[in-house]
Amino acid sequence: MRAVGIVVAFALLISSSDAAKKKADADGSDRMRMELDASGAASEEPPPQTEEMRLREAAAKEGLDYEYRDALKDIMAVLLHGSDASKDSALERLINLAVSSGEAGREQARRLRSAVVAGGALPAVVETLGATEPRRQYLAAASLHALALDDPTTDADNFHQNEICQAGAVTPLVKLLESDEPQVQSAATGALASLAENPTCQAMIAAQGAISPLLSMAHYGSDMQKLGALGALDVLSVNNARVKQQLTQEGAGNVLSGLATMGSNLLREEARDFGARLAEAEAAPMSADAHVKAARQTRMRYDGVRQRAFQRMQGWGQQPQE
């Protein structure tokens, strides 16, 4: 059952994007190779890395199945040296590769994320967050969401989230929360919720002003946007008295009370429980390990609610409990 959890998380990541699925075709690798050939095979130049990252990348690639190593080589090369159009295709392919690797088992998913994060492609993905085209913004945010997802069965990949934040992803992701495109907002929300499991990232996200736009989304967004915003805010509030204070000052109690009484069924329980936690007296600060565990459990709980929401939207009905 544990391996299923990460597959569900990856599936939720791309469920709203038909384009991402359509681009994972057999000739994707050939198109990328043509792009590299046209640019003079610049992909042979290694990306800038620390020695620690180089070793992590090598160890991750060593354990990847051949099909993932081959596809990842093409994707990384284009992200580092390709044109904007080819980078979009590479990001779409990266998202789909994350899904398929999750289906192949948690070790393949973990190794793939390790290889990408350690391999030096983060600056190119982060740069794409600042594109003017909403589709490119969405792809970059969704890619970072895929890379930020943490396997709850191991502590071996916890460096992912901090590396993404240190690469400069937080500021542009927070900015995308105010996009006019709901899909872009949702992708940025998902990425920030996953990154906020890390205590350092959590502090960075709050400091960059994420609380206000997320609270606005929880108040005025669609049901799925509200659920995503609640999840991000809940993770941001874990073990963080400052975030809880800001939420209280900005009227989160009233928003949560309204959702708990007049929101959809899937929203009511989460809003009621979040409101109760917000009103509790502040507990003693958690250790870093306890913080990560509590934040991860919070994020996974909301992922489960979103999964049930998608099932209902698609007419699947109630699924048997595992």
Domain boundaries, the chain: 1-168, 196-314
CA pair distance 48, 183, nearest whole angstrom: 32
* Per-residue pLDDT at 250: 97
The end-to-end CA distance of the chain, in Å, is: 8
**DSSP for residue 43:** G
Distance (Å, whole) CA 88 – CA 104 = 24
Look up residue 6 and give its two tokens.
């990460």
H runs (alpha helix) in the chain: 2-14, 18-22, 28-38, 51-63, 66-81, 84-103, 106-118, 122-128, 134-148, 159-166, 170-176, 182-195, 199-207, 211-220, 223-237, 241-249, 252-262, 265-279, 288-313
Q: Provide the residue type at 60 as one letter.
A: A
Q: Choose among 225, 216, 148: nearest CA to 189.
A: 225
pTM listed for this prediction: 0.83
Q: What is the pLDDT of residue 115?
A: 86
Residues 6+ apart with CB under 8 A from 146: 10, 13, 94, 95, 98, 99, 113
Per-residue pLDDT of the chain (322 residues; tens, 9 = 90+): 444 555 556 556 655 544 444 443 434 444 434 433 444 333 445 456 788 877 878 777 777 888 888 888 899 899 988 998 899 999 999 999 888 887 777 788 888 888 888 888 899 999 999 999 999 999 999 999 999 987 777 666 667 899 999 999 999 999 999 999 999 999 999 999 999 999 999 999 999 999 999 999 999 999 999 999 999 999 999 999 999 999 999 999 999 999 999 988 889 999 999 999 999 888 889 998 899 999 999 999 999 998 887 777 776 545 444 4
What's residue 27's pLDDT?
Answer: 41
pLDDT value, residue 212: 98
Helices 223-237, 241-249: axis angle to 10 degrees equals 140
